[in-house]
A and B are shown apart, each in its own frame.
Chain A
Amino acid sequence: MRVIDLRLTREPNLPLEAERLRPDSLEQTTLDEIYALPLLYGNQTAEAGEFLRGEIRETGDAPGVSLILRGDFRRVKRLGQGMQSGELIIEGSCGFHAGAEMGGGRITIRGDAGDWLGAHMTGGVIRVEGSAGHWAGASYRGKTQGMRGGAIIIHGNAGRMTGTKMRGGLIVVNGDCLEFPGYDMNAGTILIAGHSGRHIGSGMVRGTIIVREGHDLLPTFYHDCTYQPPFWQLMRSYIETQGLVLDGWDVDCFFDRYSGEAMTGGKGEVLLCHTA
């Protein structure tokens, strides 16, 4: 595997748009070529080398590229945007649009992620060890479909509008989530292990939102039954394989199933976990 290890040597004063920093586009690139990559810096263009320094090393025979970025990247946007393969590890926090439109590969963010994390993503896995901002896995304004595949695993909290217009895939928030999770959701699964803000699944057409019991749902959700969904253990195991153990969410959990939202057809479901 080719490991590209870069450290942020100068913190940008203005937003730096770094969509060119993705592992699958750096398979043949030399360190000097990486330093020469043009990045949008405010309303100017800067070279990546003005902010980054590092090394390239080969480890093992495994194919692919592992791009490691060290430092505080909160003012750096679009890291890993559109990536299709490889591994991106951010040893720190990152800015808006990380992993947006990605189709494959794996992003690990050791700190926090900004807004629009994994927006419109279609595949791959994003794991955030801190918290994420608003609109994770959502669609950009004016678009009809948000995240369509892959998984976003957030160990901390998430902001508002998580999974807006989501069309597939999985979002797991181990902590709390602000208002409107699953707004206008069309398919896929959102699991919120902590507390969720108001208006869960507002406008959802299909899909599944799993939350702990004790949440007030909109009156447009109907209670169906209390049961053990057969897919729960599969989902739980999959989340564990992605490095997150859900504390208190047992194999034998019972769920209250609600259908909704009635205003938009009622084909979606909210599962309130009973025993967590």
Chain B
Amino acid sequence: MQKNGVMIEDTFAEAFGMRGCRLTVTGPSDHWALTAARAITGFATSVIGCGIEADVEGPSPATPDDRPGYDCLFFANSWDGLANALLNRVGQALMTSVGSACFCGALPEIAPDSEDISPFDIGGKLRFFGDGYQCSKVIGNTRYWRVPVMDGEFLVEETFLMIRAVGGGNFLLLGPSHAATLAAAEAAVAAIRQLRGVALPFPGGMVRSGSQVGSRYKFLKASTNISYCPTIRGRLSGSALQEGDNAVLEIVIDGLTEALVAQAMRVGIEAACACGGIRKITAGNYGGKLGKFHFHLHQLLAGDER
């Protein structure tokens, strides 16, 4: 398949079931809300080394306390993994941020009575930082914890919602130059960032050091994706690159639902193709044996988003 002169390989992206969560972070000003959001989503590019993947989704359309706020998405491999990581991050990155407050983000993407939603506790555990001077406030049906801190109070909702999500949707852009590939990737990221419910956890929304499972070293469970490294193409017998493929960038997408990941992939690929300058778009998979979700590029572009 060709799209705007870009070859779309007949392959699929292989994605995995993950646990996802949306947090709404607010602050006294837009600057401080964004600072808090960046702090809590920092060092969260890949579950391989960070244990969690996260991204600032964008400004919250409405925040519970009517202050400036940002929605943040978090994904991890397990319920415990996500709950523990968020407890640490809210405690260490958010509570420390000036004037911040933390709320459970709305999940309009999921039916409220869905079995995929499960509650977990953050505020109820963080409250002990108050050393006995913490207090709660129930407003409506929601309990908030008020932890005394040096600039006033840190307000955090007691219970947050976790859902079964999808992580690892991806596509790779192969181009003749670093500049052309980066321009196409930037166009793809900009288009995907218009959507809600999806996260691009890598820096700037793209990754240059895509990984393969395993390594020749026993102590390493993942290593560089040698098939797509242009500098060693000549040394490999099975490189996925052709003569003239001088740079590869990958867009990795986590989403709250399978449909959102599919939509983000389609939007991103179309934007990259419209930008032009690249030769080919492909996707990463493991032969279909590891991941539950398969996103076939040709089907996505044909409008079949499941």
Contacts and interface: CB of A to CB of B under 8 A. Distances in A.
B304 to A, nearest CB: 37
B139 interface: yes
A251 B66 CA distance: 9
A206 B152 CA distance: 19
A231 B138 contact: no
Contact of B139 (A235, A251, A267): A235
A197 to B, nearest CB: 24
Nearest to A188: B138
Contact of B146 (A188, A230, A241): A230
Interface in B107-157: 135, 137-140, 144, 146, 152-155
Interface string A255-272: 000000000000101000
A137 interface: no
Interface string A69-107: 000000000000000000000000000000000000000
A195 B155 CA distance: 29
Contacts of B137: 189, 208, 231, 235
A62 interface: no
Contacts of B101: 230
A230 B65 contact: yes
Contact of A168 (B64, B138, B144, B153): B138
Contacts of A30: none
Contact of A228 (B139, B144, B152): B152
A233 B139 contact: no
Contacts of B139: 170, 231, 234-235, 238
Given A235-B137, A238-B139, A229 B66 contact: no
Interface in B60-109: 64-67, 101
A231 B152 contact: no
A227 interface: yes
Chain B, interface residues (CB within 8 Å), range: 10 to 19
A237 interface: yes
A228 B28 CA distance: 11
A237 B153 CA distance: 19
Contact of A231 (B66, B67, B155): B155
Given A231-B146, A267-B135, A237 B152 contact: no
Tell me if B's interface is mostly helix, strand, loop or mixed.
strand
Nearest to B156: A230
Contacts of B155: 230-231
Q: Which of A228, A233, A234 has the most chain B CB within a 10 Å cutoff?
A: A234
Contacts of B154: 230
A233 B135 contact: no
A206 B136 CA distance: 10
Q: Which of B139, B146, B152, B153 has the most chain A CB within a 10 Å cutoff?
A: B139
Interface string B216-255: 0000000000000000000000000000000000000000
Nearest to A233: B65
Given A206-B135, A267-B135, A234 B152 contact: no
Interface in B140-186: 140, 144, 146, 152-155
B118 to A, nearest CB: 24
A6 B155 CA distance: 46
Nearest to A232: B65
A238 B154 CA distance: 20
A230 B137 CA distance: 11
A37 to B, nearest CB: 33
Contacts of A208: 137
A1 B149 CA distance: 49
B66 A237 contact: yes
Contacts of A206: 135
Interface of B: 64-67, 101, 135, 137-140, 144, 146, 152-155
Given A235-B137, A238-B140, 7 more contacts: A228-B152, A230-B101, A231-B65, A233-B64, A233-B65, A234-B65, A269-B135
22 contacts: A149-B138, A169-B138, A170-B139, A208-B137, A227-B152, A227-B153, A229-B146, A230-B146, A230-B152, A230-B153, A230-B154, A230-B155, A233-B64, A233-B65, A234-B64, A234-B144, A235-B139, A237-B64, A237-B66, A238-B139, A251-B66, A267-B135
Closest 3 CB pairs of A and B: A230-B155, A233-B65, A231-B137
